[in-house]
Chain A
Amino acid sequence: MRRAVMARPSIVLPALAALLLSAFVLRLFVGPSETPWTDLMLVLSGRHEASGSADLLFEFRLPQAIAAVLAGSALALSGLQMQTVFHNPLAGPWALGLIAGAQLGVAVLIVSGSIFGLHFSGALGPTSLSGISFAAALGAFVALLLALALARHVSAATLLVCGLLFAATLDGVRGFLIHLVGVQYELLFLSWDQAGFGGVTWHQLRVFAVVVGVGILLALALAKNLNGLLLGEQYARSIGVSVAAVRRAALLSTLLLAGSATAFSGAVLFIDLAVAHFCRGVFRTADHRLLVPAAALVGAAMALTADIAVVLMPGDERLPVNIMTCLLGGPVVLWVLLRGDRTVTS
């Protein structure tokens, strides 16, 4: 019988950070516009004044790479926390209706714009990226408030089922609202709903980074208590963990992470589900003190890798990033899970 050996954080985390850094640098040098890498090197070293290459680097590639890192980390951590809180390997922010809430928030803003005129809310109107991002965050927040209110009265399993039904209902409401508006408003919604890391501006990146940073710090602070939840709520209470408080804090962290990722990058799929399984399988541990930073790094690397793979596809056509997150993530996680299962049964 082989014995699973837990990975050592002092080796794993620096290795993951190096991997992420490599992917980040690679992303700056690959792009759809075939800018010579020598030009980019000169721009990065400050010796090149060619505005074309500098614009491409600083206005497109750099913000896109940073957005991928933030969104990947955020989604991976929100998935990890939800799976632990709900003791369910399929739990994630979408299961609580957060994604559906964000989409509904945008749909309500766009429908309001079609009824009251585009300028009814100034800079936060439906044609403004800031307005749409704010509406998405607000929608996710309202969905989370409902989930928190419900969490006081029902078990984790019931809350998960309620979340799925809630998400389906919100989807229906959103579909109905979008059906009511003209095609130009419908296209405005579809434009936002297209997942990807490329639509984030520098101004938004600052907000995105702060919110994700707070969410990550909260998740790190919760790591020890999340370990307590792994053995069941009764056991967690017996060792002094305030289950309700931890659950609420984890939900809040998930809101900050998944809500901001959805607001700024759309509904990016699979990272929230896959990364936690990948980390548990590869690092042979359920200890959140390692899993939280590892998931943040792996999630960021996965989002960046998916983005790089999309860019490297032959031809100019841009594949949706969700195709790549699923294509890359699916087989890897499947392999990790099956390998772990064989180890346990052998």
Chain B
Amino acid sequence: VRALALAAALLWTTACGRYVGRPLVDVDIVDVDIAPATNLRAGRVRTYRPGMDYFPDKTTFRYSRQVSIEYHGHYKILTVTPAPNPSERFHYVLVQRGAPAPPARPNARVIEVPARNFALTHDELLGAAEITGLPDRLVAVSSVQGVRAPGIRAGIDAGRIVAVGSGKHVDVERTIMLGPDVVMTYWSLDPSYDAHPVLDQAGVRTVVLASHWETSALAVAEWMKVLAVLFNEERRVNALFDGIAGRYEALSARARKQPRQPVLLSRLPFRHIWYVRPDVVEMADAGGRYFWPGERRARGVDIEAIARRGRDADAWIVDFPTPIRTIDELLAREPRLALFKPVRTGEVWNWDLQAAEPDRPYHDRRMRPDLVLADLVKILHPDLVPDHDFAFYRRFDPPTTPIAPSSEAAP
């Protein structure tokens, strides 16, 4: 009986653990006798030629304060330095597939490029995978719920992309069985939340994501270049990002010169606590002023203090995930918000347009700061962008009855 039970347990374990990963992208052998005119975006070189520059397309990180890259003929070194902890520096030696690895560097992880496939254990770069045209290389995401990017959604619906969890809840066994060339994992200030130590130990090649610690929208969007260097797609992604950054900076230069800079509220109260944000660069770039300047980090402030300083703001840019979409709902949740001018004038906005109108063309907020900025400028200085159609922001539905300065009179 014991033997049978043991056999059954073994069979069960094997069956449960038997995840069949998607077959890797076909590997072509590439003969390269002369220096290539562009990066090799697939395949492996047959014969390595020392001294040859295998990466004629290069990139640099202009906005990110956490990512840098060096090119060395047949390998490149990507360095990620999470902003809150600069001593924890991650070096990734990205070696041209088929070329020998350079001499070992301490604490460096070696990854062959172009990678054939990858997994994302956090949502941060989902939009980057979509916009850079790499959804067909994606084999796993943190969760399949709520993914709207069409290419990735198609992969999920077809069963090519599966969920492996996020943070410390990453399903390590499933990730190993899928066998992606690279797993991009979330870097947390709390090491117990990190998945990369366990995955590294299991022999999975990881790259940490820290775009959430960037302080500007362009720096966040620039993380699309991290995907580019892993897939040797520098040329195409450089052009894509440069277009976005160029449009952003051009519009920002005009908006910043506007004589009137409206004052802006942001976020939502959590009961009587209202979280103020660190300096919001995008609001200044859009020709507005955040009502609570000078903060270095997000922190909770009593709603009374917020009312004192922010009740006369010109507009309220919520910028927060919430199912609340109307002024009536806002007041049902917190009647004292009627004291705030933007609530009375109907100038309350949030980036929930795509959720409210799913038929609109898909854009990712993190990867399209130019569109986010154009939306904000349209709210604050509509004359500057008369032809722009909102991509993300939507005005809260107006109240069904006019709002008195306070919807509930004190006794």
Residues of A within 8 A of B (CB): 31-35, 51-52, 55-56, 58-64, 113-114, 118, 123, 125-131, 182-185, 187-188, 190-192, 194, 196-199, 201-203, 266, 311, 316-318
Contact = CB atoms under 8 A, between A and B. Distances in A.
A55 B339 contact: yes
27 contacts: A31-B304, A32-B302, A33-B302, A35-B308, A51-B405, A52-B311, A59-B307, A59-B339, A60-B307, A61-B304, A63-B410, A118-B324, A123-B332, A125-B329, A127-B323, A127-B324, A128-B332, A182-B145, A184-B323, A188-B323, A191-B268, A196-B272, A198-B304, A199-B334, A201-B334, A201-B336, A316-B302
Interface in B7-47: none
A130 B329 CA distance: 11
Contacts of B335: 201, 203
B177 interface: no
A128 B410 contact: no
A186 to B, nearest CB: 9
A182 B410 CA distance: 36
A59 B410 CA distance: 7
Instruction: Specify the main secondary structure of chain A where it touches its partner.
Output: helix
A120 to B, nearest CB: 12
B123 to A, nearest CB: 9
A196 B273 contact: yes
B159 interface: no
Residue from B270, B324, B408 with most neighbouring chain A CB atoms (10 Å)? B270
B410 A318 contact: no
B299 interface: yes
B167 to A, nearest CB: 13
A32 B305 contact: yes
Nearest to A131: B332
Contact of B304 (A33, A192, A202, A203): A33
A90 B265 CA distance: 45
Nearest to A266: B271
A129 B333 contact: yes
Contacts of B259: none
Interface residues of B, number: 38
B86 interface: no
3 closest residue pairs by CB, A with B? A198-B272, A199-B271, A33-B308
Given A51-B405, A127-B323, A130-B332, A56 B308 contact: yes
A183 B411 CA distance: 37
B303 A127 contact: no
Contact of B300 (A56, A128, A318): A318
Contact of A60 (B303, B321, B322): B303
Contacts of B269: 191
Contacts of A118: 323-324, 329
A265 B300 CA distance: 17
Given A59-B339, A188-B323, A199-B272, A32 B301 contact: yes
Contacts of A35: 308
B329 A127 contact: yes
Nearest to B145: A182
B406 interface: yes
Contacts of A62: 410
B336 A59 contact: yes
Contacts of A125: 329, 332
A203 B408 contact: yes
B146 interface: yes
A201 B300 CA distance: 20
A182 B145 CA distance: 8
Contacts of B410: 58-59, 62-63, 202
Nearest to B338: A59
Nearest to B297: A317
Q: Which of B269, B276, B302 has the most CB of A within 10 A?
A: B302
Nearest to A205: B411
A76 B336 CA distance: 29
Nearest to B355: A184
A129 B335 CA distance: 9
Given A59-B406, A123-B332, A194 B270 contact: yes
A128 B302 contact: no
Contacts of A131: 332
Contacts of B300: 317-318
Contacts of B146: 182
B329 A128 contact: yes
A3 B160 CA distance: 79
B294 to A, nearest CB: 11
Contacts of B320: 187
Interface string B253-268: 0000000000000001
B273 A316 contact: no
Nearest to A203: B408
Nearest to B304: A60
B411 to A, nearest CB: 7
Nearest to B146: A182
Among B145, B271, B299, B334, residue most surrounded by chain A Cβ atoms (within 10 Å): B271
Contact of A318 (B301, B333, B409): B301
Nearest to A198: B272
Given A55-B307, A125-B332, A127-B332, 9 more contacts: A35-B308, A60-B303, A113-B323, A125-B329, A198-B271, A201-B336, A202-B408, A266-B271, A316-B276
Interface string B315-355: 00000111110000100111110010000000000000000
A188 B145 CA distance: 18
B321 A56 contact: no
Given A58-B410, A59-B406, A60-B303, A128 B333 contact: yes
A190 to B, nearest CB: 7
A114 B334 contact: no
Nearest to A57: B410
Interface in B394-411: 405-406, 408-411
Contacts of B334: 129, 199, 201
A64 B299 CA distance: 21
Interface in B227-242: none
| Of B276, B300, B309, most A-chain CB atoms within 10 Å | B300
B228 to A, nearest CB: 28
A117 B347 CA distance: 24
Contacts of B301: 32, 316-318
Contacts of B268: 191
Contact of A198 (B145, B302, B311, B332): B302
Residue among A55, A64, A118, A128 with max Cβ neighbours from chain B (10 Å): A55
